[in-house]
Chain A
Amino acid sequence: MKKFHLGGKDFESRLIMGTGKFSSVEVMIEAIKASGAELVTVALRRFNRERPADDLLGPLTRLGITLVPNTSGARNAAEAVRAAQLGRELSGSPFVKVEIHPNPHHLMPDPIETYEACRELAKDGFIVLPYMPADPVLAKRLEDVGCAAVMPLGSAIGTGQGLSTAEMVKLIIADSGIPVIVDAGLRAPSEAAAAMEMGCSAVLVNSAIAAAGNPPAMAAAFSAAVKAGFSARVAGLMSRCDHAVATSPLTSFLAGA
């Protein structure tokens, strides 16, 4: 499979995994292994002396994957930039997922603050991956300020409503010179395959794996779906047709019998 080129680096896997909502660190680690993900998102929080086992840096470092700290919790560009700098200091990774969602009810990304944060972080040498509304105009503006990819939402975070933004994501892909990664809202592996068939370069999945009955098995299912969708895209899907086109010959040798 063609390598996934992102931020000047090559990856085998086109499935990026989030690490939230898992029932335990052990289940999360098994799911990451089963997913084959090489890029994994993490969040920053205040150190909690009562719960040292929550610290994921050690277990994730041992997996040899690339960490993508997010800026979750930031309500504006200045907070996101600060969170990104702290994430880089801790992870040693130049990747950052910019997410600025001021309203906890819908968690929709703030396009203005996201744009400002991305502009500043790209100038500072980060490999910037913005979580963004599925807006083709904003996607182009984010590309122009130096983002390494754009990550439009499929639907609201954690809802499992699937690719409700499919038509907008198609417009983003058609116009984009950088990878498009659907992030948020996916529930089923078939939706991940659909995103890849559409031309996405990768997908980011968290809740659909973490909240599955068997997270490692679901991670493997998403991995297979992403590979299938990408292979189908490369193979070239047939054109749609408004009328039936026979696959068997319609010669009339039976008519005269």
Chain B
Amino acid sequence: MKIILNGHSQDFKGAETLGQLLKDLDIVPERVAVMVNDRIIPKAGRSEFGLNEGDRIEVLTFIGGG
């Protein structure tokens, strides 16, 4: 399934849910904010959130800033 992750189109096999995708990417769910198609997906709702072909996913984290 093609997913546009942080602006790059990538093929993910078997990632039917957002929770599974984050797990496949070795991302600690509590350490990121996630948007799917411009909608913020709260931490609690990610594991069951179903993904579809062509979804645009943004995974964001905190870095240094003033």
- Which A residues form the contact surface with B (CB < 8 A)? 18-22, 28, 41-49, 54-58, 60, 67, 69-70, 72, 82, 85-87, 89-91, 157, 184, 204, 206-207
CB-contact partner of B65 in A46, A57, A72, under 8 A: A72
Cβ–Cβ < 8 Å partners of B40 in chain A: 85-86, 89
Given known contacts A44-B33, A47-B6, A47-B32, A86 and B66 CB-to-CB distance under 8 angstroms: no
In the complex, how many angstroms separate the beta carbon of A185 from the nearest chain B beta carbon?
11
Contact check, B60 vs A56: say whether CB atoms are below 8 A apart: no
Which of B38, B43, B60 has the most C-beta atoms of chain A within 10 angstroms of its own C-beta?
A: B60
Assess the B60–A19 pair: CB atoms within 8 A. no
In the bound complex, do residue B66 and residue A56 qualify as a contact, i.e. CB atoms below 8 Å apart?
no
A47 and B64 within 8 A (CB): no
User: CA of A47 to CA of B58 in the docked complex: distance in angstroms?
Assistant: 8
| B41, closest chain A residue (CB) | A89
The answer to the question of B35 belonging to the interface, with a C-beta cut-off of 8 Å to chain A, is yes
- Which has the most chain A C-beta neighbours within 10 Å: B6, B62, B64, B66? B66
Task: Give the residues from 14 to 59 in chain B that come closer than 8 angstroms, CB to CB, to chain A.
Answer: 25-27, 31-33, 35, 38, 40, 42-43, 58-59
**Which of B6, B31, B35, B63 is within 8 Å of A86, CB to CB?**
B35
Of the residues B27, B33, B61, B65, contact of A70 by C-beta under 8 Å: B65
Interface size of B as a range: 20 to 34
Q: Name the A residues within 8 Å of B32 (CB-CB).
A: 47, 90
With contact pairs A54-B61, A87-B33, A89-B33 given, residues A47 and B27 touching in the complex (Cβ less than 8 Å): yes
Check if B62 sits within 8 Å of A42, measured CB to CB. yes
Q: How far apart sit A47 and B31, CA to CA, in the bound complex (Å)? A: 10
Check B43–A60 contact: CB distance below 8 A. no
Please, which residues of chain A bring their CB within 8 A of the CB of B58? Answer: 46
> In angstroms, how far is the closest chain A Cβ from the Cβ of B56?
12
Query: In whole angstroms, how far apart are the Cα atoms of A94 and B63 in the complex?
Result: 18
Nearest chain A residue, comparing its CB with the CB of B30: A57
A182 to chain B, nearest CB (A): 13
Q: Which of B25, B31, B66 contacts A20 (CB 8 A)?
A: B66
B30 to chain A, nearest CB (A): 8
Minimal beta-carbon separation of A108 from chain B (angstroms): 15
